[in-house]
């Protein structure tokens, strides 16, 4: 929903007479920012920001609203989206709170990271390749409610774990969030908008329980890591190319009914993909991701590439492969847009090893909602490159 629609549709909900635009609020907070055509630009940084708003809600005398800031930069291979929640006794107050949270807890640190030339770095390894990332010169945590964190911020407590999730993209944005409400702890660790359960569990372990229960306290840390030019390796394909290839491959997979037709589809995918490494990932990942989406099951953070030539296993995190994340997003989008029939779903699930494992587990008494798939193994050869 456009912010102007929110303002126009809720003009009597405690808005200021001239309305309040949380995107213009961002522009007014930072020197050098320009606001025009519902877009904030930072010419000095090469950054562009737009905004979508959720439908406001009112419970008793309190308003809540979700603001989704969308950031574009040449370093970001997909758009960065940051969702912030605002609440207050008027809709104006709720929107202002959300805008302030974005400015203070996210954008401030993004601008610092984009300009940082400091010497602090972390090195990630993807198979035999090393990628070096600049650590922002300044970082901090955005705090709401009562204080509960002691002994350091999230980044310094989880630096080594987070480094293991970095791949070959130019930039990775990490959001770490934890909140206590009484005896209940909520945690979430996201990398480039995707939540990773094992990293979230690592975050949970470093968040100590307050000595005395607190009504509410929350901490959020946002870290933008940018790969140095001398180790950056651009992918030989784009996210849009992967999306189109995924759609075509799913349509082809619906026709598989024998080993011969499976081989024909595999050959067609290899012919269409710009590199063989992506084709190998497409053939393996699409049915397994499709299974997770249709069954609504979770999966572990890791995947394993098995080199047939050397009988070697390479363990990586899903976040380290461009292909996995882009294929995952395209499969989800395909199912949402196309709404395939049960019959079509079963054709794809029929070639999924995860579906076979899930079926066997359920027949033995397991509950579908309790299933979490382990590490996926896929086969590679000596020419494979993990982009």
Q: What is the pLDDT of residues 337-347, one digit of tens each?
A: 999 999 999 99
CA distance 224 to 49: 16
* 66 and 7 Cβ atoms separated by less than 8 Å: no
**pTM for this entry:** 0.90
CA distance 239 to 153: 33
Going along the chain, which residue ranges are E strands? 34-36, 39-42, 47-53, 57-59, 62-72, 80-88, 121-126, 129-134, 141-145, 171-182, 184-191, 194-195, 214-227, 298-299, 302-307, 312-317, 372-373, 376-380
Q: What is the pLDDT of residue 144?
A: 86
Strand 214-227 relative to strand 312-317, pairing: unpaired
Query: Phi, psi at residue 190, to the nearest 5°?
Result: -120, 140
Burial code (b: 16+ CB inside 10 Å, e: under 16) for 348-358 equals: bbebbebbeeb
CA distance 244 to 137: 39
Q: Would you give the DSSP letter of residue 210?
A: P
Q: Long-range pairs for 357-362 at CB < 8 Å and ≥24 separation?
A: 358/291, 358/295, 358/297
Going along 43-128, which residue ranges are E strands? 47-53, 57-59, 62-72, 80-88, 121-126
CA distance 42 to 74: 13
From first to last of the 387 residues of the chain, give the pLDDT tens digit: 566 555 555 545 555 445 789 999 999 999 999 999 999 999 999 999 999 998 889 888 889 999 999 999 999 999 999 999 898 999 999 999 999 999 999 999 999 999 998 899 999 999 999 999 999 998 888 888 888 887 779 999 999 999 999 999 999 999 999 999 998 999 999 999 999 999 999 999 999 888 888 899 999 999 999 999 999 999 999 999 999 999 999 999 999 999 999 999 999 999 999 999 999 999 999 999 999 999 999 999 999 999 988 999 999 999 999 999 999 999 999 999 999 999 999 999 999 999 999 989 998 988 888 888 989 999 999 899 999
Partners of 306 in the beta sheet? 313, 379
> How many residues are given for the chain?
387
Burial class (CB in 10 A: 0-12, 13-18, 19+), 105: buried
């Amino acid at each position: 929903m456009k912010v102007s629609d929110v303002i126009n549709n809720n003009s009597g909900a405690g808005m200021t007479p001239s309305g309040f635009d949380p995107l213009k609020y961002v522009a007014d907070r930072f020197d050098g920012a320009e606001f025009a055509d519902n877009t904030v630009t930072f010419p000095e940084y090469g950054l562009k920001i737009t905004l979508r708003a959720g439908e406001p809600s009112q419970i008793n005398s309190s308003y809540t609203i979700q603001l989704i800031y969308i950031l574009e930069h040449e370093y970001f291979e997909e758009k960065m989206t940051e969702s912030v929640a605002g609440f207050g006794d008027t809709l104006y107050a709720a929107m202002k709170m959300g805008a302030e949270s974005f400015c203070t807890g996210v954008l401030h640190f993004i601008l610092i990271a984009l300009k940082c030339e400091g010497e602090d770095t972390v090195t990630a390894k993807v198979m035999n390749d090393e990628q070096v990332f600049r650590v922002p010169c300044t970082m901090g945590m955005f705090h709401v409610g009562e204080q509960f964190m002691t002994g350091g911020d999230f980044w310094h407590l989880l630096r080594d774990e987070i480094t293991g999730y970095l791949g070959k993209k130019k930039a990775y944005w990490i959001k770490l969030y934890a909140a206590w409400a009484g005896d209940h702890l909520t945690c979430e660790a996201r990398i480039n908008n995707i939540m990773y359960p094992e990293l979230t569990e690592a975050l949970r372990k470093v968040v100590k329980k307050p000595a005395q229960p607190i009504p509410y306290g929350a901490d959020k840390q946002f870290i933008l890591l940018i790969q140095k030019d001398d180790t950056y390796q651009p992918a030989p394909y784009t996210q849009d190319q992967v999306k189109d290839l995924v759609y075509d491959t799913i349509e082809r997979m619906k026709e598989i009914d024998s080993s011969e037709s499976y081989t024909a589809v595999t050959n067609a995918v290899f012919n269409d993909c710009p590199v063989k490494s992506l084709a190998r990932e497409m053939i393996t990942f699409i049915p397994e991701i499709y299974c997770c989406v249709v069954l609504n099951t979770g999966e572990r953070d890791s995947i394993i590439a098995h080199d047939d030539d050397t009988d070697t296993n390479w363990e990586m995190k899903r976040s380290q492969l461009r292909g996995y994340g882009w294929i995952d997003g395209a499969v989800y989008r395909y199912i949402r847009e196309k709404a395939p029939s049960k019959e079509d779903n079963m054709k794809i699930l029929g070639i999924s090893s995860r579906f076979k494992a899930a079926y066997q587990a359920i027949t033995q008494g397991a509950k579908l909602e309790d299933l979490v798939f382990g590490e996926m193994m896929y086969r590679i050869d000596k020419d494979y490159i993990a982009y």
